[in-house]
Chain A
């Protein structure tokens, strides 16, 4: 170990130090001045982003005796996570203040979760991975319960905690089998062991692999391990849902890449079948059940499940194009998800949570601008050009067709048509219906500007996608 190790892990260490500082500072802040905690948290994020940028490695760097890796993939994902957490904080601020929830805990737990995600993204060993995962998961359980007097929040936190603990157990159990068979916890050593001794690729390893996939599928919320997701999305307060729905998806993608591709890449034939079933079920179940929802958060939850199915199918291909498309899909999806939940928050006000689809009625009268923004986001999620959601679907479909998956490709496009219905319904409510509720939307200028930029990003990325596509290809091919 030398000082280079600390440079590679500098962003995480900086963030940890800053979190501790903010936490102590928060103790001395009166409730009415809580906004200071918000600005301190935002400053921590900015500093972390700067450190991330400054320590961007030119080559893949493995440090801390092989436990930790710093490579372009982790840099891109971390930067994405930092930006998304910042955006979540900003959207959440006004809502939390209006609903007497403006406590330092939201920001601090959010930052701790971010730390967990960053550790996951840089993990090079199964234990580091698990460490990051649990840091993230514990923060999220607490975040869901942040409004402890709210029965549904408490219930969904409990549900999330119990199911999450079981999934973590499954993951840990799988890790122990993989360790037992290959004799190592580090991804590159596992891969080397499998290459050196193909005889290891047998039932005991597959047994462990199945548990790993259960754990990963749970974290992603993929069918059939999705049951917690709609309940938690609906039960958590909207800013928490926003947090859950965005950055952790990138961490889950990192989990998938690190474990299945870096570590168990030579078992592709075995895990790809499992992933395919999970993915196909997610796309079908997510899209079909979303149609029946009346709660917008729940609907977006099921829509997440469907999108996760697309990401998993991209990974299923096992090709570089497939991995790049998974990364592109995840990055663009979380942008759209952040915008959509941001608008749900925007529609809420003191004592009133806009949770139902019918709350979107007449939005075009109340605020033509944000109705248009929501229209962009919904059409992007539905995969209609010129929005970026179309290109991400196109990329995944072309990766799947490339390995001869014509049937899967047709399934994906037909499922998109089914999915289009519930996105269109949001637009239908916004534009074709009127609402008695004519209340003007309340939001500060900074929220409005960022929310608009966030929504316009799905259009801009759809028209100028070249750089992000090139980045994804480059990062994955490293």
Chain B
């Protein structure tokens, strides 16, 4: 069956495409026909990958709690490492998100990347393949290989095509995430020595003592908390976002942050359930700090990208909050709600934050400034753009009818069941989120036309329009009709809940 190799196809098609682009290379002229060909080839590869992932969606069986599209080949005999792929209701939506966002990123970089377009698009293609690899790897070492290899293209994307302080930002990004992941590697090797292999399912089944569980949880926590990012290890994110080119910011916010949340669900919770239970209070506290404190920090930002970066941290706080609520809720009252909310929030945040960064990118391409103060009255000169941006801002603030509402609402309901004060603090985001997003929108879009530069702005071109329209449609679709997404996850989440509920001591 063709679907037997679908995951490998999804991973390697963009990687091979990226390598081909690298091999052909740039001719030093961004306007040349070769550069144009490179752009078209990159778009073709990403669209082909997206179409293949639709096949994944269609063939996906919502009722199956286990892994689907499994591929398993021995890779390194000495360590008993397998090339072991598979998806379930948790990873499949994230793969779809990845294949959906990447073509949009390629289109968004169409005109704005003037230097070395072939290398730029190659980096994104390779990155896409590696990210899909992270979401589908079921072998610990394979997971780690994809997880770390992903840093290489992102390091280059920020460093080569980034803003003024790009070197600082990209080194910080790389070293922070590298530091986080090496401890995860030590935990993996420890588990390998216990189980004789890197199979994630044998990691999940092997009994582990409480001390070891706590240490493993902490090792995983460092890796995933940096990636999510959680307060207080979030400081690389605003720097990386501000300096990254638009496409880099979009991928970073929309997909790479999700890796942290995915790591918690795929590794921390099922492998060390007792350790997770032990630290769940800490996790909830950190999440609430992220939601409230970072919300206030976002309010004070003068740079649009920084503001969205901080709002990402706050929104990702909902993801970790939703995941670790389950020990605080009686099992019969729907403990899975927080988890489902967290998963929906991941997808929704991927769409919204991606869209917000693209909006800033549209403005930046025209004005070469990210400072809020340089704008004002943009709605007068760019009415179409303004309507899109308002929609995304509303979604970012969690307006019902948009995808932003669904996940946050589920998590807030779940936290009510756990503890009134959790819910109270989490719900402040409805105020804070609205405050910082809408205040930015007001200052950028409305009011008098601020200066002559704004007065000369041209509205969206057709490429930008298509990208934003697709995102707007998907934000509304998930907001109004989340059922297909939730159905996809439900069976897997129920099974995860059972698994996490059983002690492994």
Contacts and interface: CB of A to CB of B under 8 A. Distances in A.
A428 B159 contact: yes
Given A402-B193, A432-B160, A432-B167, A409 B179 contact: no
B152 interface: yes
A424 B174 contact: yes
Contacts of A466: 75-78
Contacts of A163: none
B178 interface: yes
Given A431-B159, A466-B78, A397 B189 contact: yes
A385 B144 contact: yes
Interface in B163-195: 166-167, 170-171, 174-175, 178-179, 182-183, 185-186, 189-190, 192-193
A368 B120 CA distance: 13
A385 B160 contact: no
A391 B145 CA distance: 10
A410 B160 contact: no
A158 interface: no
A288 to B, nearest CB: 15
Nearest to B192: A398
A401 B193 contact: yes
A384 B151 contact: yes
Nearest to A404: B193
Contact of B145 (A368, A386, A413): A386
A192 interface: no
Contacts of B160: 364, 431-432
B22 A417 contact: no
A473 B26 contact: no
B482 interface: no
B155 interface: yes
Interface in B140-163: 141, 144-145, 148-149, 151-152, 155-156, 159-160
A189 to B, nearest CB: 33
A398 B179 contact: no
Given A368-B26, A466-B75, A470-B78, A424 B148 contact: no
B78 A473 contact: yes
B105 to A, nearest CB: 20
Main secondary structure of the interface of B (DSSP, over half): helix
A372 B192 CA distance: 33
Contacts, number: 95
A385 B78 contact: no
A364 B175 CA distance: 22
A424 B154 CA distance: 13
A390 B145 contact: yes
B99 interface: no
A386 B126 CA distance: 13
A410 B75 CA distance: 26
Interface in A376-392: 379, 384-386, 390-391
B148 A384 contact: yes
B185 A421 contact: no
A308 B193 CA distance: 25
Interface in B113-144: 116, 119, 141, 144
Contact of B156 (A398, A402, A421, A431): A431
A424 B155 contact: yes
B65 interface: no
A372 B149 contact: no
B481 interface: no
A470 B151 CA distance: 29
B25 interface: yes
B149 A386 contact: yes
A318 interface: no
A398 B193 contact: yes
B5 interface: no
B76 A469 contact: yes
Contacts of A379: 152
Contacts of B465: none
Contacts of B178: 384, 417, 420
Contacts of B144: 385
A394 B185 contact: yes
A466 B80 CA distance: 10
A394 B190 CA distance: 11
B186 A409 contact: yes
Contacts of A406: 186, 190
A246 interface: no
A48 interface: no
A80 interface: no
A413 B193 contact: no
Contact of B76 (A375, A402, A465): A465
Contacts of A413: 182-183, 185-186
A394 B22 contact: no
B171 A428 contact: yes
Interface in A389-423: 390-391, 394-395, 397-398, 401-402, 406, 409-410, 413-414, 416-417, 420-421
A402 B171 CA distance: 33
Contacts of B190: 401, 406
Interface string B432-461: 000000000000000000000000000000
Contacts of B25: 368
B293 interface: no
A421 B189 CA distance: 24
Contacts of B179: 414, 417
Given A384-B148, A417-B178, A398 B189 contact: yes
Interface centre among A385, A420, A469 (most CB of B within 10 A): A385
Given A386-B145, A469-B78, 18 more contacts: A364-B119, A379-B152, A384-B148, A385-B145, A390-B148, A394-B79, A394-B141, A394-B189, A395-B78, A397-B185, A397-B189, A410-B186, A417-B182, A420-B174, A420-B178, A424-B175, A432-B159, A432-B166
27 contacts: A364-B116, A364-B119, A384-B149, A384-B178, A386-B145, A391-B76, A394-B141, A397-B189, A401-B186, A401-B193, A402-B193, A409-B186, A409-B189, A414-B179, A417-B179, A424-B171, A424-B174, A427-B156, A428-B159, A431-B159, A432-B167, A432-B170, A466-B76, A466-B78, A469-B77, A469-B79, A470-B78
User: What 5 A-B pairs have minimum CB-CB distances, sorted nearest first?
Assistant: A413-B182, A385-B145, A469-B78, A432-B159, A398-B189
Interface of B: 22, 25-26, 75-79, 116, 119, 141, 144-145, 148-149, 151-152, 155-156, 159-160, 166-167, 170-171, 174-175, 178-179, 182-183, 185-186, 189-190, 192-193
